[in-house]
Structure 1
Amino acid sequence: MGVIYLVRHGQAGAGMGGVGSLDDGAVEKHYDGLTARGRRQAEVVARSLVERIGRPGEPAAATVFCGPLHRQHDTALAVASALGAGAPVSDPAWKEFDSDTVVVPWLRRNPGTARRLQGVMQDARRGAAGAAGAEVGAGVESVVGEVLDGALGEWVEGAGFREFRETVLGGLDRATAAARADGAVVVATSAGVIATCTAAVSGLPHQAVPSLVGTVFNASVTVLRVADDAGRHRGGGAGVDLVSFNEHAHLDRADARGDLTVI
């Protein structure tokens, strides 16, 4: 039996600065970089995987895959370094959907939501603290959830999502083969990919993907079990089952600076 650990990248958006990315339609350009917190999150999830996969004082026998985006690759580097594994293997199948073609057009058709999103993003970037910070965080979650429900709800009904899903499940097939050979595989990827894999191996309808996307924490871990023989996997390569989704208890531990990194 093998195991696949699907890891969402750490907090991203280091280049977003404020609201310009929504105005110029280049969300991906501004978003695709780990923040300082995101790098700490990558280190925390890497240490947690060492505890799960490795043995004290020995390199872990694991293959590390990642998508081609900077936020995915940098998270994978932290994991591979902690595990003592080889360099991450970049596979375009693990790339996230393109927000510039999926989310930005929806926001332009819904300017009121776009303005509210810009407002809560500005508040979050100002770094509100205490009770105000909690309110800001709740506001971000609420508006982002509305955007995901709207934009992704439309997207999953079209040809673009069908192509994306087929590509992702091709990557899952390759990771499954590697897990059968090596025992453990770690994939540093993104929420849309993780949600698509989760729905496929669980037999959920494609309409479940948007709601799953909205629940995937930064630097969380979703675990898939790979059987030696054909199993219940309904979406691609046979013999893959969901063990856990969106684990993030490791982020409740203080990092090297003494900070909690779950947010």
Structure 2
Amino acid sequence: MGAIYLIRHGQASFGAADYDQLSGTGVEQGAVAGAELLRRKVRCTEGRTGSLARQRATAEIVLDWLGSAALAKEDPRWNEYDHVDIVANHGGGVRQDPDDPRGYQEVLDASLAAWARAGDRGPCAETWPRFAERVRAALADLVAVLRKGESAVVFTSGGVIGTIAGHLLGDPEMGLLRLNRVTVNCGITKLVSGRSGVSLVSFNEHSHFEGRDARLLTYR
């Protein structure tokens, strides 16, 4: 069997002029996740990252721990949905407010549900069905190059991870709306691929943010 580790990026800069940058906490989270994969003796033979700055920066930090930084190949199909476009079309264009992250999350949750309901008829540049299809295609292409006993590490986002987990459980929309909601920054989701296909082995592991590193546990 081959193993695929999906890593959610470290904490981004919520409410800042440029959200798509790791915060100081996000940088620390990447180092802890890298140390965790090293502890597990993960031998990375394939690396993938979306093209977003927060994903690429997390990949650089984590893969440096594994001595595999050169393996990170950029593939924008691993990018997150465009939350700005979705909220603009389904949530009244509310902006991130660093003083009220919970309020923004409520708007985003409702907007994602409306985005999914709209299907192919939705007004966003990328509809929910198209997002789900490109995520599945990215996973399928990675599985196709992964040989027995090899491991891939992918740096992506909560919506992508939730959708893939939901897909493997038979309900990608549930994954988008419920699993995505609880993904932690630099959490680890493990898939295995074999003759019977791809299976979800674990979702959103984050024990590496317990104990002395509990202060680094964040969801947004």
Query: How many matched pairs?
Result: 210
Question: Identity rate of aligned residues, in percent?
Answer: 35
SS at match of 1:219: coil
1:96 is displaced (CA, Å) by: 0.6
- Inter-partner Cα distance in structure 1 for 2:172 and 2:73: 30
- Inter-partner Cα distance in structure 1 for 2:53 and 2:158: 15
**Alpha-carbon spacing, 1:205–1:81, altered in 2? closer, same or farther (3 Å):** closer
TM-score, normalised by the number of residues in structure 1: 0.73
Does structure 2 retain, via aligned residues, the 8 Å contact 1:148–1:210? Answer: no
Ranges in structure 2 where 5+ consecutive residues have no aligned partner: 121-126
What are the within-5 Å matches in structure 2 for residues 123-134 of structure 1? none
1:260 is displaced (CA, Å) by: 3.1
**Alpha-carbon spacing, 1:68–1:181, altered in 2? closer, same or farther (3 Å):** farther
Aligned to 1:194: 161
Does structure 2 retain, via aligned residues, the 8 Å contact 1:8–1:221? Answer: yes
Higher strand proportion, which one? 2
TM-score, normalised by the number of residues in structure 2: 0.86
Does structure 1 retain, via aligned residues, the 8 Å contact 2:83–2:108? Answer: no
Does structure 2 retain, via aligned residues, the 8 Å contact 1:153–1:207? Answer: no
Does structure 2 retain, via aligned residues, the 8 Å contact 1:53–1:184? Answer: no
2:31 to 28, 38, 43: 43
Q: Deviations over 1:25-74 (max 9, x none)?
A: xxxxx2100001000001111111112234xxxxx343211000000001
Aligned to 2:62: 79
- Inter-partner Cα distance in structure 1 for 2:79 and 2:90: 21
1:145 is displaced (CA, Å) by: 4.4
1:178 aligns with 2:145: yes
1:147 aligns with 2:147: no
1:77 is displaced (CA, Å) by: 0.7
1:182 is displaced (CA, Å) by: 6.0
Aligned to 2:53: 70
Q: Deviations over 1:72-111 (max 9, x none)?
A: 00101112211111241101110111112112333326xx
- Inter-partner Cα distance in structure 2 for 1:63 and 1:80: 11
- Inter-partner Cα distance in structure 2 for 1:219 and 1:43: 9
Larger Cα-atom Rg: 1
**Alpha-carbon spacing, 1:178–1:83, altered in 2? closer, same or farther (3 Å):** farther
- Inter-partner Cα distance in structure 1 for 2:157 and 2:66: 20
Aligned to 1:92: 76
1:122 to 96, 99, 103: 99
1:104 to 88, 92, 97: 88
1:166 is displaced (CA, Å) by: 0.9
Counterpart AA for 2:50: G
- Inter-partner Cα distance in structure 2 for 1:205 and 1:6: 16
Does structure 2 retain, via aligned residues, the 8 Å contact 1:53–1:61? Answer: no
Runs of 4+ in 1 over 4 A off after TM superposition: none
Ranges in structure 1 where 5+ consecutive residues have no aligned partner: 22-29, 55-59, 124-139, 232-238
Aligned to 1:134: none
Aligned to 1:135: none
Q: Let me know the Cα RMSD of the aligned residues.
A: 2.1
1:146 is displaced (CA, Å) by: 2.0
Aligned to 2:116: 156
- Inter-partner Cα distance in structure 2 for 1:99 and 1:145: 11
Q: Deviations over 1:90-144 (max 9, x none)?
A: 01110111112112333326xxxx48x63xx226xxxxxxxxxxxxxxxx44x35
